[in-house]
């Protein structure tokens, strides 16, 4: 029944005895206490004593931190050559692995568990997006840069028809998510070790706003528009939010941004990636796009 | 007339309680099913048993007339872990009573949770453990050690190994 060892010798609460300590609790109780703490704090208190270290590794603790569909997510992790090793990971090890980015779809996308909210974050690189005219070097080319987690961004010189489409089918853990496009007006480069922004191609964004759109297969829909005007920094443009109710059913998400008014050209824009974050986690340098009625 | 169960503490004190109060303990419920009305609890002192009975009495009264899904339903719906993390106590008055109940020093709380764990009184176990967690949250290691009298029994090598093993938790993405 899980009574402490010392209770055989003396009664709990006996006056005049040694006060009952944390070490007298059965390990499942200590683990249950730790389960109420955040992952970071659990790892901190693991350093207090051997009892805490043991309790901090208990499956009981990490089971509550993992998303319900963590087995599906773990299946996408391919860095273990030995598939048997993956099935023998304890819950804490699974949690630790999912906290590091997990690449998939040939490395053009990656997801990771966000430690504080416990939700999934995802980054979809420009290589995984459908960019109109991307193959035409008069309009677009790829730049190598350390400012993208994929080390490369798509740079637009100029075009009449600016359209970027994307799609993702993924088993997101249940929750509310926000989708962003990470964009940069101007081209960043290094001169004499300092970051400078080349603005020569920037034009056409002040005439008409860029229109963002997002839709899920279960009928959720968001539309918004925003003028791009912040030069020289990476901005997360918020395209919309979606809600996932069932983590066992894949969510099919389509999203796009367009500026297809062909009366004028536009250019000088870097397109890095699309990001999906648990709602509220990343506000950052976001311009709330005007919702269209 | 309510059926009475007799609980006998480790130091020989006898407590007669109504069946529904005693049945807050799943263990007692199972034992009594085998037609045994006197239940010796050799590992529980009378001081602790009095406190546990007080909790059970309060919660039996509430569970008889549930306004919201009872804790057992919530526990059944929760995951495979034996300790449920759902918050069954949604009645604010009861929560307030619980919060007063746990205003005890650490040692007394531990005594209660050991007894409640032994007697399988899930809600009481959860209540005390959550209270202990609240006393740990946000505190520096030194303060937690002092407050709970925890001795650092690691060797320097073990400490270093642990630091490396958990370094993933302190990295940013």
Contact B24, B16 (CB under 8 A): no
| Distance of alpha carbon B73 from alpha carbon B81, whole angstroms | 15
Contacts of B120 in chain A (CB under 8 A): 1
Contact A63 B81 (CB under 8 A): yes
DSSP for residue A19: P
Model pTM score: 0.79
Predicted local confidence at residue B133, as pLDDT: 95
Q: Which residue in B has a C-alpha nearest to residue A100's C-alpha?
A: B173
Best residue in B168, B170, B171, B172 for a mutation probing chain A (most A CBs within 10 Å): B168
The secondary structure of chain A in percent helix, strand, coil, rounded to multiples of 5, reads 20, 40, 45
Tell me which of A15-19, A56-60, A198-202, A219-223 is least confident: A15-19
Q: Of residues A111 and A118, which shows the higher confidence score?
A: A111
Q: Please state, rounded to an integer, the average pLDDT across all residues of chain B.
A: 83
Q: Which residue in B has a C-alpha nearest to residue A110's C-alpha?
A: B173
Q: Please state, rounded to an integer, the average pLDDT across all residues of chain A.
A: 87
Contacts of A15 in chain B (CB under 8 A): 47
Q: Which residue in A has a C-alpha nearest to residue B48's C-alpha?
A: A13
Contact B113 A29 (CB under 8 A): yes
Contact B77, B86 (CB under 8 A): yes
| Distance of alpha carbon A69 from alpha carbon A249, whole angstroms | 10
ipTM over 0.85: no
Predicted local confidence at residue A21, as pLDDT: 85
Predicted local confidence at residue B71, as pLDDT: 45
Predicted local confidence at residue A293, as pLDDT: 26
* CA angle (B19, B20, B23) in 5-degree steps: 85
List the single residue in A48, A50, A96 with the smallest CB-CB distance to B141. A48
Q: Which two tokens stand for residue B161?
A: 């190994």
Contact B168 A96 (CB under 8 A): yes
Q: Which residue in B has a C-alpha nearest to residue A38's C-alpha?
A: B137
Predicted local confidence at residue B89, as pLDDT: 59
Contact A237, A285 (CB under 8 A): no
* CA angle (A31, A26, B121) in 5-degree steps: 90
> How close, in Å, is residue A277 to chain B by CA atoms?
13
Contact B114 A11 (CB under 8 A): no
| Distance of alpha carbon B116 from alpha carbon B124, whole angstroms | 6
The Cβ of residue A290 has, within 10 Å, a number of other Cβ atoms equal to 12
pLDDT higher than threshold 50 for residue A209: yes
- A16 pLDDT tier (thresholds 50, 70, 90): low
| Distance of alpha carbon A39 from alpha carbon A55, whole angstroms | 13
pLDDT one-digit tens code per residue, B90-127? 788 899 999 999 999 999 999 999 999 999 999 999 99
- A104 pLDDT tier (thresholds 50, 70, 90): very high
The arithmetic mean of pLDDT across residues A136-142, rounded, is 95
Q: What percent of chain A is predicted at pLDDT more than 70? A: 88
pLDDT one-digit tens code per residue, B131-169? 999 999 999 989 999 989 888 999 999 999 998 888 888
Predicted local confidence at residue A122, as pLDDT: 97
pLDDT one-digit tens code per residue, A262-277? 999 999 999 999 999 9
List the single residue in B85, B110, B130 with the smallest CB-CB distance to A22. B110
Predicted local confidence at residue B35, as pLDDT: 65
pLDDT higher than threshold 80 for residue B78: no
Helix B46-64 to helix B106-119 angle, to the nearest 10 degrees?
60
């Amino acid at each position: 029944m899980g009574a402490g060892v010392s209770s055989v010798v003396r009664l709990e609460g006996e006056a005049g005895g040694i006060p009952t300590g944390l070490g007298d609790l059965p390990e499942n109780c200590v683990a249950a206490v730790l389960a109420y703490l955040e992952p970071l704090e659990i790892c901190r208190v693991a350093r207090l004593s051997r009892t805490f270290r043991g309790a901090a590794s208990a499956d009981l603790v990490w089971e509550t931190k993992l998303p319900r569909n963590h087995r599906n997510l773990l299946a996408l992790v391919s860095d273990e050559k030995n598939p048997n090793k993956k099935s023998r990971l304890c819950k804490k090890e699974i949690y630790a692995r999912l906290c590091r980015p997990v690449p998939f779809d040939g490395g053009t996308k990656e997801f990771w568990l966000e430690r504080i909210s416990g939700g999934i974050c995802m980054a979809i690189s420009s290589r995984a997006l459908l960019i109109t005219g991307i193959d035409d070097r008069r309009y677009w080319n790829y730049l190598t840069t350390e400012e993208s987690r994929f080390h490369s961004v798509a740079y637009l010189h100029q075009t009449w028809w600016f359209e970027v489409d994307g799609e993702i089918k993924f088993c997101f853990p249940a929750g509310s998510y926000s989708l962003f496009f990470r964009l940069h007006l101007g081209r960043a480069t290094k001169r004499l070790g300092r970051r400078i922004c080349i603005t020569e191609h920037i034009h056409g964004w002040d005439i008409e706003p860029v229109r963002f759109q997002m839709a899920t297969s279960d009928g959720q829909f968001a539309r918004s528009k925003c003028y791009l005007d912040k030069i020289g920094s990476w901005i997360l443009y918020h395209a919309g939010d979606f809600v996932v109710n069932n983590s066992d059913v894949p969510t099919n998400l389509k999203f796009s941004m367009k500026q297809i008014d062909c009366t004028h050209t536009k250019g000088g824009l870097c397109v890095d990636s699309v990001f999906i974050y648990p709602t509220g986690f990343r506000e950052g340098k976001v311009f709330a796009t005007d919702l269209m009625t | 007339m309510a059926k009475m169960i007799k609980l006998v503490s480790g130091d020989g004190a006898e407590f007669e309680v109504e069946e529904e109060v005693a049945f807050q303990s799943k263990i007692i419920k199972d034992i009594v099913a085998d037609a045994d009305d006197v239940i010796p609890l050799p590992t529980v002192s009378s001081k602790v048993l009095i406190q546990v009975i007080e909790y059970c009495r309060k919660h039996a009264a509430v569970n008889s007339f549930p306004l919201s899904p009872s804790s057992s339903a919530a526990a059944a719906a929760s995951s495979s872990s034996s300790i449920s993390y759902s918050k069954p106590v949604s009645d604010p008055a009861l929560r307030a009573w619980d919060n007063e109940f746990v205003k005890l020093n650490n040692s007394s709380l531990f005594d209660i949770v050991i007894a409640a764990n032994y007697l399988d009184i899930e809600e009481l176990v959860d209540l005390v453990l959550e209270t202990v967690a609240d006393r740990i949250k946000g505190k520096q290691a030194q303060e937690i050690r002092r407050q709970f009298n925890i001795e650092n029994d690691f060797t320097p090598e073990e400490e270093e190994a642990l630091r490396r093993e958990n370094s993933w938790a302190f990295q940013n993405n």
